[in-house]
Amino acid sequence: MKIASRFLTRPDTTGTVRLTVDGAPFTARAGDTVAAALLAVSGDAFRQTGKGAPRAAYCMMGVCFDCLIEVDGQPNSQGCMTQVRDGMVLRRQHGLRRLSGDEDRA
């Protein structure tokens, strides 16, 4: 989480759900999506494309699939369509996924 969040969080939205992204712990508000929770704490990319370009959540309504992220071991999950849960483990993706879910580094 090197880049500061591009959003201000209203004081009425304190986080109570604890999760991690690439091993780093952070908190989110119950009822939030994974994408909203990440955008609230960091301005970093969610993933890198097959060509290595950084991408973050974009449409926030399940249309564009730019927010793809690994959720509890499930790759290519739509961050903007997935609700946060206590203990959730997120991993940012680098490059394309294989069918097995592993990174395609070929």
CA nearest neighbour of 23 among 76, 79, 81, 92:
92
The minimum distance between CB 8 and other proteins, in angstroms, equals: 5
Tell me which stretch binds other proteins (CB under 8 A): 16-24, 45-53, 86-94: 45-53
Strand 89-91 to 47-48 pairing: unpaired
Residue 4 found at the interface with other proteins (CB under 8 A): yes
The verdict on 63 binding other proteins (CB under 8 A) reads yes
Taking alpha carbons only, the member of 26, 62, 63, 64 closest to residue 44 is 26
Rounded Cα distance between 38 and 9, Å, is: 12
Give the binding site for other proteins (CB under 8 A). 2-10, 12-13, 29, 31-33, 36-37, 39-40, 43-46, 49-51, 53-66, 68, 76, 81, 83
